[in-house]
């Protein structure tokens, strides 16, 4: 097992709090599953295989919020698909997000994974795009 720490920042970030339904509130720190997703995106691991990937590599993760410009709330139009009526249903909700957060991500994993992760970060050789939590376009 080896540790590795790297920095990452986003223009905006949103990490949906699981206990809120109508208002899209955000955690300030990315939860471990989001960090798994960031590492998975770098390696090209599909969403459904992230848990298996984390277990295979003994992935232990954490984050520190180093800086951010602010917290904002905007109105967002969500369009969930109603399969019964075969149509989209428009709903307007408040959407909370962080502005320009900068994080320090710490991970501990198998030596081989850390070595390849360092190389991929240095060369910016990512398989999938990385974004700050729930992607939303304003």
For the segment 93-130, what is each residue's pLDDT rounded down to a tens digit? 888 999 999 999 999 999 999 999 999 999 999 999 88
What is the rounded distance in angstroms from the CA atom of residue 30 to the CA atom of residue 97?
12
What lies within 8 Å, CB to CB, of 24 at 6+ separation is 14, 16, 76, 93, 94, 95, 96, 134
List the domains of the chain with CATH numbers. Answer: 2-123 (3.30.70.2660)
Q: Is a pLDDT exceeding 80 seen at residue 74?
A: yes
Q: Is a pLDDT exceeding 50 seen at residue 66?
A: yes
Q: What percent of the chain has pLDDT over 70?
A: 93
Per the rule left: phi > 0, alpha: psi between -120 and 50, beta: everything else, 104 is: beta
Mean per-residue pLDDT for 53-65? 96
What lies within 8 Å, CB to CB, of 116 at 6+ separation is 43
Is the distance from CB of 8 to CB of 98 less than 8 angstroms? no
Mean per-residue pLDDT for 63-82? 90
Q: Is a pLDDT exceeding 90 seen at residue 82?
A: no
Q: What are the φ and ψ backbone dihedral angles of 108, each rounded to 5 degrees?
A: -135, 130
Is the distance from CB of 105 to CB of 34 less than 8 angstroms? no
Task: Tell me the sheet residues that pair with 107.
Answer: 4, 61
């Amino acid at each position: 097992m080896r540790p590795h720490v790297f920095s990452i920042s986003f223009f905006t970030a949103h990490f949906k709090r699981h206990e809120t339904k109508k208002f899209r509130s955000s955690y300030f720190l990315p939860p471990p599953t989001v960090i798994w997703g960031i590492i998975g995106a770098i390696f090209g691991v599909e969403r459904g295989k992230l848990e298996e990937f984390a277990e295979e590599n003994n992935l232990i993760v954490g984050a520190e919020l180093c800086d951010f410009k602010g917290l904002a709330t905007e109105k967002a139009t969500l369009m969930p698909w109603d399969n019964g009526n075969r149509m989209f249903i428009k709903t307007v909700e408040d959407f909370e997000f962080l502005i320009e957060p900068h994080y320090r991500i710490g991970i501990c994993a198998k030596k081989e994974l850390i070595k390849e992760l360092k190389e991929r970060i240095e060369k910016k050789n990512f398989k999938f795009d990385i974004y700050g939590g729930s992607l939303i376009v304003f």
